[in-house]
Amino acid sequence: MPGPLSSLLNARRALPVALVLLTITALLPARNLAWAGWFGTLVQTLAAPISHPVSRFIRWVVPAAPLVADEDAGSRAWRLRAEEFETLYLRERSANDRLLEQIALLQSGLELNPGLGVRQLATPVIGASSDLSSGLMSVRAPRGSNITPGTSIAVVEGVQLLGRVDSVRAMIAQVRPITDRSASRVEGVVVLGDSREAPRLRCSLAPAGDGTLIGPVENPAGLPMGVALAVGHRVRLSDPTWPESAQELILGQVASIQPNPEQPLRQMLVVRPLVDLSRVSEVVLRIPVSREDAGAESARTPAPAPVPREGGAPP
């Protein structure tokens, strides 16, 4: 039988070993610690038969205080009923507000290309591509949506171009964002004003790999007096290699203007999209359709009536 001295020595030897094991366990990735949950499940299984009667006894000895003092059972039932209907009302009002915002975004996208045969479909982003090196974004593609790779595009916030549909498989569409490293160069125009007659400068942009686009812009020497290229100007797509439904969509806004080391007479633009394209949760797919089909569909579908907000006033 070990004596007190040997037990003390064993405890001293075990302490450093325990510290090393704890340090290694703390540094392990979470996926390698799944086995530790077994011990928690075992303790919970052993303690459950005891904790339930103990909890019931404590609640019987010290009952929960009512939220409203001097409230009888009937008043409490009516109060809970009223709170339930208030929750339902607030939930429906929030859903109505989201639908109104979605309708406004869809309408703003159509205003860029009036008369164009295009159908818009709001769909959620369900994750990244299974090939992590591709940079593709996976969005849901319902059956019968007729999404066509190469000609269908994705937008966010109504007019911000996200990218082009690369492929469609098993009700999932793969979209390649314009800021992905593997995306091709796009041609755009910098709009130097808010009016339709505002001067424009052509630019050629390529993904920089950090969520921005970078490329040269034409020499602004011939601009009218008082008009200058500056940070904050919007950049829109003007590229014949993209579908007609994508033209004039926003690529981003000028984030910085840098000197061009290869061509001293031209400047380099850094363009940042209006939103972080890698973190969007929903996109709007613009699917091209024939003009005859678009006209027939719009004739069959009545325009949605605006839903009045609180107070009875239309939005």
pLDDT given for residue 313 in this prediction:
43
Question: What mean pLDDT is reported for the chain?
Answer: 77
Q: Which of 62-66, 86-90, 100-104 has the highest mean pLDDT?
A: 86-90
**Mean pLDDT along residues 77-83:** 78
Whether the predicted pLDDT of 57 surpasses 50: yes
Q: What is the C-alpha to C-alpha distance for residues 111 and 115, in angstroms, rounded to an integer?
A: 9
Give pTM, 2 decimals: 0.58
CA distance 151 to 153: 6
Q: Which pLDDT belongs to residue 206? A: 95
Give the model's confidence band at 207: pLDDT under 50 very low, under 70 low, under 90 confident, else very high.
very high
Whether 278 shows a pLDDT value over 90: the answer reads no
Instruction: Please tell me which residue, 139 or 77, carries the higher pLDDT value.
Output: 139
Amino acid at 268: M
Any idea what DSSP says for residue 84?
H
Could you give phi then psi for residue 255, rounded to 5 degrees?
-95, -35
Kindly indicate the confidence band of residue 255, based on its pLDDT and cuts at 50, 70 and 90: very high
Q: Which carries the bigger pLDDT value, residue 83 or residue 179?
A: 179
Its CATH architecture, for the domain 186-220+231-277, is Beta Barrel (2.40)
Q: Tens of pLDDT along 123-138? A: 899 886 555 556 888 9
The whole-number pLDDT of residue 164 equals: 93
Place of tokens 């994508």: 246
Counting Cα atoms < 13 Å in the Cβ hemisphere of 258 gives 13
Domains 106-180+278-296 and 186-220+231-277 share a fold: yes
Question: Which of 4-8, 52-56, 98-102, 148-152: highest mean pLDDT?
Answer: 148-152
Model confidence band, residue 19 (pLDDT cutoffs 50, 70, 90): confident
Domain range summary for the chain, segments of one domain joined by +: 106-180+278-296, 186-220+231-277
pLDDT-derived band at 294 (thresholds 50, 70, 90) equals very low
The pLDDT value recorded for residue 306 is 46
Q: According to the per-residue pLDDT averaged within each range, which of 6-20, 97-111, 119-133, 140-154 is highest?
A: 140-154
Give the tens place of pLDDT for each residue, 31-56: 666 666 666 667 666 666 666 676 66
pLDDT at 205 over 90: yes
- What would the 3-class secondary structure string for the chain be? CCCHHHHHHHHHHHHHHHHHHHHHHHHCCHHHHCCHHHHHHHHHHHHHHHHHHHHHHHHHHCCCCCCCCCCCHHHHHHHHHHHHHHHHHHHHHHHHHHHHHHHHHHHHHHCCCCCCCEEEEEEEEEEECCCCCCCCEEEECCCCCCCCCCCCEEEECCCEEEEEEEEEECCEEEEEECCCCCCCCEEEEEECCCCCCCCEEEEEEEECCCCCEEEEECCHHHCCCCCCCCCCCEEEECCCCCCHHHCCCEEEEEEEEEECCCCCCCEEEEEECCCCHHHCCEEEEEEECCHHHHHHHHHHCCCCCCCCCCCCCCC
Position 13 scores a pLDDT of 74
Answer whether residue 6 shows pLDDT above 60: yes
CATH number of the domain at 106-180+278-296, please? 2.40.10.340
How does strand 186-191 pair with strand 282-288? unpaired
